[in-house]
Amino acid sequence: MQGRKRFTPQLFYHTSLENLVPKDNYYRILLRELDLHYLYACTSNYYGSEGQESIPIPMPRSRPNQANHAN
């Protein structure tokens, strides 16, 4: 006999990026290995000092092209 489940939409879903991104993710490893805190001091002139909080410095979105590194 074929069963069916009824989907009941919820108003709120409880989840976090920590749970969705695997522990061995490339960017998690990169963030652990690289110390980029010096960038905040180097780029402070480009951010406002009053009003709403500035947007944090973005991390790169894609992996470097592996084809360029082939032997």
Query: pTM of this prediction?
Result: 0.39
CA-to-CA dists, residue 9 to 12, 13, 14, 19, angstroms? 9, 9, 13, 21
Q: Token digits for 25?
A: 């993710």
Q: How far apart are the C-alpha atoms of 16 and 13, rounded to whole Å?
A: 10
Q: How far apart are the C-alpha atoms of 12 and 57, rounded to whole Å?
A: 29
Domain ranges of the chain: 17-44
Tokens 């989840």, located at residue: 15
What pLDDT digit, counting tens, does each position of 14-64 carry?
A: 888 888 889 999 999 998 899 888 888 888 888 777 766 666 767 666 665
